[in-house]
């Protein structure tokens, strides 16, 4: 499914905020959890945690729909929003876009860094990578 999503990748941020803004992330997490919602319901849920304008939530949800991450259809006077893509599919798409970009332009450095990173921070994942490479080479 083609999304109109241009990634802005902020590696220093946590989780989905690396590619979505903080409010977009909160909205998407709400929709992934609830499966469908209106701006009013999302605003009510978010305003329990912080002071946020209804129009800000409405604008952000509209933009997420324009980007293809949310679907919306009118029911009566309100739009009902549903995720156009699951959280797992979204994360997979992000990983593919980021790694494709790195591999296209900097494959040697990206591979060397990944191996160095895994050997220092997660040797078990490095072993898993080695097993995956061996199984595909057979």
Neighbouring residues of 108: CB distance < 8 A, sequence distance ≥ 6: none
* Range picked from 20-24, 33-37, 87-91, 98-102 for highest mean pLDDT: 33-37
The radius of gyration computed from the CA coordinates of the chain, to the nearest angstrom, equals: 19
3-state secondary structure of 38: coil
pLDDT tens per residue, range 28-62? 999 999 999 999 999 999 999 999 999 999 999 99
pTM check: above 0.75: yes
Question: 15-85 has which fold?
Answer: Arc Repressor Mutant, subunit A (1.10.10)
Sort strands 78-83 and 70-75 into parallel, antiparallel or unpaired.
antiparallel
CA distance 24 to 75: 23
Find the DSSP H helices in the chain: 22-34, 39-47, 54-66, 87-121, 123-137
Give the DSSP H/E element, type plus range, for residue 74. strand 70-75
Burial bucket for residue 36 (CB in 10 Å: 0-12, 13-18, 19+): middle
């Amino acid at each position: 499914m083609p999304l109109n999503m241009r990634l802005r990748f902020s590696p220093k941020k946590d989780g989905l905020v690396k590619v979505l803004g903080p409010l977009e992330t909160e909205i998407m997490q709400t929709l992934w959890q609830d499966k469908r919602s209106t701006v009013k319901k999302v605003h009510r849920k978010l305003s329990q945690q912080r002071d946020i304008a209804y129009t800000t939530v409405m604008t952000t949800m509209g933009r997420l729909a324009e980007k293809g991450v949310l679907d919306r259809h009118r029911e009566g006077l309100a739009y009902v929003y549903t995720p156009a893509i699951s959280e797992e599919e979204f994360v997979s798409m992000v990983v593919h876009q980021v790694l494709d970009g790195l591999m296209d332009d900097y494959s040697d450095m990206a591979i060397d860094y990944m191996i160095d990173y895994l050997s220092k921070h997660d040797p078990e994942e490095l072993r898993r990578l080695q097993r995956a490479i061996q199984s595909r080479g057979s």
